[in-house]
Amino acid sequence: MNLKFGTDGIRGPVESKITPEACLKIGHATGLVMKELGWNTVVIGKDTRISGYMLESALQAGFIAAGVNVNLLGPIPTPGVAYLTKTLRNKFGVVISASHNDFLDNGIKIFNEDGEKISREVEKRIEKYLSSNLSPVETSQIGKAYRFDESGPRYIEFCKSTVPSEISFSSLRIVIDCANGACYKVSPEIFEELGAEVITIGNEPDGYNINQDCGSTHPEIIKDAVVKHRADYGISLDGDGDRVIIVDEKGNILDGDDLLFILAFANPNRTGPWSGVVGTHMSNLGFEDGIKKLGYKFVRADVGDKYVSEMLSKKGWLLGGETSGHIICKDLVSTGDGTIAALKVISSLLLLEKRPSEVLTNYTKIPQINSAVKVKNKDIINDQELKLLLNEIESDLTVGRVLVRPSGTEPKIRIMVEAPEEKVARKFANDIEKIIESKS
C-alpha cells in the first residue's frame, strides 16, 4: 500500500487507497506509536461520507488491536475533534474525512494532545509501521471502544463561548451552507442560540452529496442565497468544517485573505503575539501589502493549515490562514475552524460597527488567477520545458508571482499567477495549463 502522509493527512479514493484494510493498518500503526509515547486513548470523529461507517469500524479495530482504547464521536467537524482531543485529555484525535473532496474520496487526519496536526516526525514513525505486518497485542491487552454521545453539544457550547457576552446576533439574518457535511447540525444551532435568524442550506447529507455543488468550493451558491433572502451574511463551510468563505450583504465573496484582513484590522493590540500574521505562498500580494500597512509583520508558510499553525507556533503569533478559507485564531483554537472564524469575523464587524466593504477598502488585491490540471503523474512538475516556461513568465513579471505545485490532496497540478492586469495573469495561466495538459 502506498500510504504516505500528504499536506493534510492521508487521503485518496476509497476504492483503491483508503480501503478498510488501509484504515485497519493506519489505526494499528498509529496505535503502536501512541503506545511508544506512553498514550493509550484516542477519539475518532468523521464527516458524513457513506464510506465513513465502513472505515470507522476498520480504524477502531486497528487501534484496539494495538491495545489502544477508542472513544467514537460520530459525525462532527474536524475542529470539533481537535477541541475534544484537547479537552477530554485524550492523547490523539483522528478524523475520517477528505475535507472538500467528493464522496468517492476519504482520508485520515490525526491530531496530537494539544489539538494540533501531528508533526512530520510522528508521521514518519507511523509510516514506518505501515510497512510492517499487523500483529495484535495479547488478548488480555487489547483495547476497548466507547461511544461518546456529547461531542456535538460540547462543541456547540465551546463555539458559543468564544463570542463576547456584549455581542448579540439578534439583529442578523444569516444563511449557512453546511456542504451536506459534518457541520450540518452543529453550526446552524450555534448561530441560532446566539440569536441570529438562520437559513440553512446544504444540511441534508445522504452520504453521497457532501461538497456536491455546495459548500466553500462553490461560493456562488451562498452568494445567490444571500441575495435571495436579503441576508446580512452568508457562511459557506466545507465538508469537514475546517474552512469557510463568507459573503456580505451585497453578495460579495470574501475569501481567506479578506477574512484575515478583517480580523487583523479589528484587532487593537498589534504587539507581542499579535504583532504578526502568517499567510501562505497563495496569499495575495495585495493582502501582504495591506497587512504590513496595518503595522503587522507578515510571513508565508507552505500551503496547508498545518504549516500555518507550525509557523504561528515558531513565531509566537496568534493569527494566520489560507486564501482557501482555513483561518487559525490561535487565541481560541489550535487548528483551522470555519465556524469559529465566522463567529469571530462577524463579532469583530459588529464591534467595529462596520460592513465588510468598509474595512476591505483599506487594501487592494492584485489580480490573481488560480486553476488546476488533473494529471496521472505529479512528476510533471519537474519537466524541463515547463520549468523553462515558468522562468520566462517570471522574467516578464515586473510585479506579481507565479506558483505551480502538486496538490497535496488530489491528483492535480495547481497553478497560481499574479500580475498587474487580469488578462495578463490569465494568459500566463493558460499557457501553463496547455503545457501540463500536453504532457499528462
Q: Which of 51, 97, 99, 236 is catalytic?
A: 99
What's the CATH number where 272 sits? 3.40.120.10
Contacts of 392 (CB under 8 A, 6+ apart): none
| Whether residue 214 sits in one domain with residue 77 | no
pLDDT digits (tens, 9 = 90+) for 377-428: 888 999 999 999 999 999 999 889 999 999 877 889 999 999 999 999 999 9
Domain boundary, last residue among 360, 383, 404: 360
Same domain, 346 and 288: yes
Which residue, 149, 172, 196, sits at the end of a domain? Answer: 149
Phi, psi of 51 (to 5 degrees): -75, -15
Residue 283 bears catalytic tag: no
Q: Would 4 be classed as within a structural domain?
A: no
Angle ∠(279,282,318) on CA atoms, nearest 5: 10
Q: Which three cell numbers stand for residue 15?
A: 476504492
* Domain assignment present for 5: no
Claim to verify: residue 322 and residue 180 sit in the same structural domain: yes
Domain that holds residue 423: 368-439
Instruction: List, in order, residues 6 or more apart from 85 with CB less than 8 Å away.
Output: 43, 91, 92, 93, 111, 112, 113, 115
Instruction: Taking residues 212-225, report their average pLDDT.
Output: 96
Global model pTM greater than 0.85: yes
The confidence score (pLDDT) of residue 1 equals 60
Domain assignment present for residue 257? The answer is: yes
Number of H helices, E strands in the chain: 14, 18
- Is 1 inside any structural domain? no
Tell me the per-residue pLDDT of 265-300, one tens digit each, with 9 for 90 and over.
999 999 999 999 999 999 999 999 999 999 999 999
Neighbours of 413 (CB within 10 A): 24
**Is 3 part of a structural domain of the chain?**
no
The reply to whether 134 and 166 lie within a common domain is no
Q: Are residues 227 and 179 in the same domain?
A: yes
CATH of the domain at 419: 3.30.310.50
β-pair type (276-280, 297-301): parallel
Supply the pLDDT for residue 6: 86
Indicate whether 359 pLDDT > 90. yes
- Do the beta carbons of residue 414 and residue 405 sit within 8 Å? yes
Are 239 and 134 found together in one domain?
no
- Within a domain: 159: yes
What's the number of domains the chain is made of? 3
Same domain, 249 and 212: yes
Please identify, among 115, 131, 149, the residue that sits at the C-terminal boundary of a domain: 149
Query: Cell numbers of 353, please?
Result: 460597527
Are 318 and 207 contained in the same domain?
Answer: yes
- Whole-angstrom distance, CA of residue 416 vs CA of residue 400: 10
